[in-house]
Amino acid sequence: MDFRFTQEQEFFRAAVRDTVDRLIRPKTQAVDEADDFPRELWKEFAALGYLGLRHPERYGGMDADVLTSMIFYEELARGSCGFSMTVTMQILMGTYFVGRFGSEAIKQRVLVPAIKGEKIGTICFTEDQSGSDLGGTRTTAVRKDNGWLLNGRKMWVTNGPICDFCTVLATTDPSKGMEGLSFFLVEDGTPGFGRGQIIKKLGSHGSVTGELIFDNVWVPDENLLGEGPGNGVKLTTAILNEVRVMTALSACAIANEAMGDARKYAQERVAFGKPIAQYQLIRGKFGSHWAWYEAARLLAYKAAWMIEEKQECQHECMLAKMFAAEMCLSAVDEASRIYGGNSFAMEYAQQRYFRDARFLLFGGGCHEVLLNTLGAAYLRRGGK
């Protein structure tokens, strides 16, 4: 067993950390307060080439492996949860199916500009009545004129209000439930494609979220992204594994930032004649956090390694996401208790950590659904 990152990965982490500290962190508060897409920051960041992290070099990408990508996501989340979610949507989910299944013409028209940051992408899973329950998808795709006619509405779409293209999950055969789902590329300007409400969120500000509407949207056959109709669910496993580990490491980053700030505050804040860091109850909070944080981070990177090794790891990725997000919620709560009343003041970052941590509960599957799935899997294991 070897828990060390390679020298190249450590160099990469240092480079990303420097970028986050230099480019993003000075603007974090402004991005949070504005709660809008930070277009100028996006342009600056895109110019560095990171948006092509997971894509081949021939399209302008970096062709990074899974572990290197997870290092990037972890470091990015240190700067701004909202901006991080916008960027990871572009890198991971928004361009995944285009990069994997798109024709060469689609890649040149959509993927290459996306890697340059000239076009913004997203993916559409959730509807008003179905999130984790993909089998409840009501958006339909019906064969028509050598193509497909899409109808439906998607909710909670990250980058939705600003996207230039989207990958849409739709059912090509409602009678087959999960086995009738497929992914389609829809580009901005396609007749019938529109935007609905913008969702104002508690946290993850700077990541604009909203509703997308598909009203008799016709797309050609080449816009079916996958190995024929009905393969959508099979194709989601790989991307959801990465999304869950990315979410886990984002949770680790937010938790570490919150408790890191709290550590400095506890060492400087004097109460009853001495810094509060010298009180046993305060020290206990840091000791407990350290244990849970290390466990969550190790579990997340183990899952990332399993993805890279092409091992079956759907349950490990679920465990990593759930455990890290719950650890983060505990960490930001304890950090706010260390700050006391000051944690309620908008001038301190603790209130932002507290709000952002809630966002991690739902992306990649709500924990009640994950626990149900994991519990059933554990019971099937027998004596193992």
User: What is d(CA 255, CA 260) in angstroms, rounded to the nearest whole number?
Assistant: 8
CB 264 within 8 A of CB 275: no
Q: Crossing angle for the helix pair 66-79 and 81-88, nearest 10 degrees?
A: 150
Closest among 176, 83, 77, 171 to 124, alpha carbons compared: 171
Domain boundaries, the chain: 7-116, 121-230, 233-378
Fold category of 7-116 in CATH? Butyryl-Coa Dehydrogenase, subunit A; domain 1 (1.10.540)
Question: Percent of the chain beyond pLDDT 70?
Answer: 99
Instruction: Fill in the DSSP letter of residue 118.
Output: S
Fold category of 233-378 in CATH? Butyryl-CoA Dehydrogenase, subunit A; domain 3 (1.20.140)
Q: What is the pLDDT of residue 129?
A: 80
Q: What is the pLDDT of residue 363?
A: 85
Question: Percent of the chain beyond pLDDT 90?
Answer: 88
Largest CA distance in the chain: 79
Cα–Cα–Cα angle for 229, 160, 362, nearest 5°? 80
Q: How are beta strands 121-124 and 165-171 bridged, if at all?
A: parallel
- Quick one: average pLDDT of 329-358? 97
- From the CB of residue 67, how many other CB atoms can be counted at a distance below 10 Å? 18
Q: Is the confidence at residue 384, as pLDDT, over 60?
A: no
Mean pLDDT value across the chain:
95
Secondary structure (3-state) at 102: coil
Q: What is the pLDDT of residue 186?
A: 98
pLDDT band at 128 (very low <50, low <70, confident <90, very high): confident
Residue type, 344: F
Transcribe 133-151 into DSSP letters. Answer: -GGG---EEEE-SSEEEEE
pLDDT band at 383 (very low <50, low <70, confident <90, very high): low
CB 160 within 8 A of CB 130: no
Transcribe 59-92 into DSSP letters. Answer: GT-----HHHHHHHHHHHHHH-HHHHHHHHIIII
pLDDT band at 312 (very low <50, low <70, confident <90, very high): very high
CB 206 within 8 A of CB 80: yes
Q: What is the pLDDT of residue 381?
A: 84
Q: Is the confidence at residue 41, as pLDDT, over 70?
A: yes
**Reported pTM:** 0.95
User: What is d(CA 362, CA 314) in angstroms, rounded to the nearest whole number?
Assistant: 17
User: What is d(CA 107, CA 119) in angstroms, rounded to the nearest whole number?
Assistant: 12
Higher pLDDT, residue 228 or 9 = 9
Q: Is the confidence at residue 352, as pLDDT, over 80?
A: yes
Q: Is the confidence at residue 373, as pLDDT, over 90?
A: yes
**Phi, psi angle pair for 119, to nearest 5°:** -130, 145
Which are the contacts of 53, defined by CB distance < 8 A and separation ≥ 6? 61, 62, 64, 68, 69, 72, 91
Q: Is the confidence at residue 132, as pLDDT, over 90?
A: no
Encode pLDDT of 254-292 as tens digits.
999 999 999 999 999 999 999 999 999 999 999 999 999
Encode pLDDT of 65-118 as tens digits.
999 999 999 999 999 999 999 999 999 999 999 999 999 999 999 999 999 999
CATH of 121-230, picked from 3.30.70.270, 2.102.10.10, 2.40.110.10, 3.90.230.10, is: 2.40.110.10
CA atoms within a 13 Å half-sphere pointing along the CA-CB vector of 239: 23
Q: What is the pLDDT of residue 273?
A: 96
- Quick one: average pLDDT of 220-227? 91
